Amino acid sequence: MTRGIASPETYYYRRLFTDAVRAVEMTRELEVVDTDRVVVRGGSQGAGISLAVAGLSRDLAGVMIDVPFLCHYRRATQITDEYPCRELSDYLQWRRNDPDQVFATLAHFDGVNFSPRATAPALFSVGLMGPVCPPSTVFAAYNHWGGTDKDIRVWEYNAHDGGAVDQLRAQITFLTRVTGAEDP
């Protein structure tokens, strides 16, 4: 969470997000891939990365985002003491004069800021009991989604599992719809 955090140019997630976008581009170059049916999916940190990919890539058939981490960083650090958000709080306890710079860097990598650029159909999940990915941070990304074809499954008594097998069933239905496949 804090490697290279002093600058957007050196922050760890810059390279990670670039690699994720490049992975989608490389996948589309494979002869066995139907480029009209590429979908990205992730849970927690992977969901945060999927948000970045959706905001930086075009022509995705869909995006499945389960309990996304890497969203609304400042709010997350203010309302949860769970790791990995706690790593940011620990960092700032010893660098008391750096919060503005830290959060300015993080703004470049915040799923909430990638969401308005994303236009693919999206299926989100949120666990309302989730301390790792607080619900308000998930809803911030969902509410800013640029596409109009979006849905969020709210799991009232779940946490970081975001609906588990029931969410998986929703994803299968979603995949069938966005890819036109009978058996995704």
pLDDT digits (tens, 9 = 90+) for 18-29: 999 999 999 999
- Please tell me the total number of residues recorded for the chain in this structure: 184
Return d(Cα 41, Cα 79) in angstroms, integer: 26
Residue-range domain boundaries for the chain: 12-179
Give residue 164's Cα distance to chain centre.
17
Given the DSSP bridges, would you call strands 39-43 and 62-66 parallel, antiparallel or unpaired?
parallel
pLDDT of residue 183 exceeding 70? no
Return d(Cα 155, Cα 130) in angstroms, integer: 10
pLDDT in tens, 76-130: 999 999 999 999 999 999 998 889 999 999 999 999 999 999 999 999 999 999 9
pTM: 0.94
Return d(Cα 90, Cα 93) in angstroms, integer: 5
**Selecting from 3.20.20.70, 3.40.50.150, 3.30.70.2860, 3.40.50.1820, what CATH number does the domain 12-179 have?**
3.40.50.1820
Give residue 45's Cα distance to chain centre.
7
